[in-house]
Amino acid sequence: MLGLSSIAVMTAAGAAGVIIILLLAAVVFLYKRVRLLESKYAFFMQDETGKSVELKLREDVAKLHDLQGTLDMIHQTQKDILSVQNHCFRKIGFVKYNAFDNIGNNLSFAFTVLDGKDDGFCLSSVYGRSESRIFAKPITAGKCLYGMSEEEKESLDNALQYTGDMQDGQKDSQ
């Protein structure tokens, strides 16, 4: 006869055997799941041409780094252009008018050109039947130190407000 201790050992061995079988079944189940996930991962990590997505991402990141260098160069070039542009005439004001009541066709004019710092000049021509006069007045920081006619002031204001569109600056005859 078997003793009580040998029955306990057999029961423990049987329970351990069942646990081992259950664990073995769990390992097989998990192994199949991992294989299925690996195949899905491998499929997912390839693009339509079979190329690795990881390799594609590395190439794209390298291209982005190259583009960043190009973008930095473009920004520096833009700064250089804007710096030069501040010293170029780029604002225009123009007004045509009749200087005298007995002369028509708006043959007199005031023409103002300014750079990016609002420095430049106002050129005005007063047309008369027997003579014509031309005047030039310097403009510094948007102001003229000399007296200006109403038409010259209007021309200067037009230049200071200039956005790139020329507008008809003719004054009506009085």
Q: What is the pLDDT along the chain (174 residues), one digit of tens a residue?
A: 557 788 888 899 999 999 999 999 999 999 999 999 988 887 777 766 667 777 788 888 989 988 998 999 999 999 998 888 878 888 999 999 988 877 778 889 999 999 988 999 999 999 888 888 999 999 999 999 999 999 999 999 999 998 765 555 445 444
Quick one: pLDDT at residue 165? 59
The predicted model scores a pTM of: 0.52
CA distance 97 to 93: 13
Angle at 34 between CA 18 and CA 29, to 5 degrees: 25
Quick one: pLDDT at residue 174? 41
CA distance 77 to 74: 5
> Closest Cα to residue 152, out of 116, 105, 113?
113
Quick one: pLDDT at residue 56? 80
Q: Cα(first)–Cα(last) distance of the chain, in Å? A: 139
**Domain boundaries in the chain?**
47-85, 91-160
